[in-house]
Chains A and B, each alone.
Chain A
Amino acid sequence: MSSPRLRVLAPALSIAALTFLTACSPERNVEAADTAKAGRTAAPDFALKDANGATVKLSDYRGKVVLLDFWATWCGPCKIEIPWFMEFEQTYKDRKFSVVGVSMDDDGWSVVKPYIEQHKINYRILLGNDDVGRRYGGVDSLPTTMLIDRSGHIAFTHVGLSTSKSGFQNEITSLLNAR
């Protein structure tokens, strides 16, 4: 993929294709669609505000393994994964790993901030928007979680609630241990 247009479309296309190909059953949970290193597409960059009003870019995390979680306060399945992600943040933060949550709540910080406080979320939460959703192929299903390697490429994608915490853990460690 050499043209700028293809480079822009590729991540959205691959995420969209993944969602499309799994859309035929009522429960279209995708367990870790693993992309071999050579075939990984760049995670689209974005600039979003965090709860303190600071602008955060995904590219700020280049060199780290990132767990990027699209979620919402009204999403029940998301609530199961959030404690896992808090544990990962705590366990791996010293190994150049970060969890970044992107809230897709239309009601904004008025609902997201109380939720962060109530659940004592220990990782950075950003407020998403339709533009970021589009860049990632729509993100109509929540949770949608991606593991991004140190070079900023999407290595694993989970659409829907994952069946186990250990699956995520294995993927994180594989990316942390990769050379």
Chain B
Amino acid sequence: MPARSTGALALFFLSFLAAGQDRGGMSVLSIAPVPKVHAQRGKELTQKLEAEVQPGFHVNSNAPDDEFLIPLKLTWNKGPLEVLEIVYPKPTREKYSFSDKPLAVFTGKFEIATRFRVSSAAGDMGVMTGKLRYQACNNKECLQPKTVNVQFSLDVR
């Protein structure tokens, strides 16, 4: 096999694997884009992130029972909005073949809400950026933890 062909083949396979938790071109966890948010200075607002886990997989909840499990965690970077509270949904308890007891997990579609306060000094426009860290498994295997970027833009009145 010519070296160039081998290199191309290697790149093909390794790029597939480098996609981490992407499988068949789809991510195990996807987040719906957030439409532009309209905010008022000095007021509070609640913004939801809609996440979806691929069928057959689950992600650990924000408060897994086992100390070694990696929790799902949303963090926001400093921006025009002040984070007051992050509210995770109630996890479901699912039993898997690899666990003696049911685990607190998120499956399918779920929402994470963040309560923000809009600074009275906020500019007219801005962007909030953050990260969602999660770790996914199915009944037989676990995928490496992954961190995805989240963001939304806003105009302030």
> Which interface residue of A20, A73, A74 has the most chain B CB atoms within 10 A?
A74
- Select which of A9, A73, A140, A161 is within 8 A of B97 by beta carbon: A161
Interface size class of B (residues with CB under 8 A): 35 or more
- Looking at chain B's contact residues, the main secondary structure is loop
Interface size class of A (residues with CB under 8 A): 35 or more
Chain B residues within 8 Å of A17, by CB: 13
Question: Are B3's CB and A27's CB within 8 A?
Answer: no
- Chain A 62-103: CB-based contact to B (< 8 A → 1; otherwise 0): 000000000011111111100000000000000000000000
Given A16-B14, A26-B138, A138-B14 in contact, is the A74-B70 Cβ separation under 8 Å? Answer: yes
A43 within 8 A of B: no
Question: Are A160's CB and B6's CB within 8 A?
Answer: no
Give the distance in Å from the alpha carbon of A75 to the alpha carbon of B96 in the complex.
12
Using CB atoms and an 8 Å cutoff, list the residues of chain A in contact with chain B: 3, 5-6, 9, 12-13, 16-17, 19-20, 23-24, 26-29, 72-80, 104, 106, 111, 115, 134, 137-138, 140-143, 159-161
Given A6-B1, A72-B142, A140-B21; 19 other pairs, CB 8 A cutoff: A5-B3, A6-B3, A9-B6, A9-B7, A12-B13, A13-B10, A13-B13, A16-B14, A23-B16, A23-B24, A26-B57, A28-B140, A73-B68, A77-B98, A77-B142, A80-B98, A138-B14, A141-B141, A142-B143
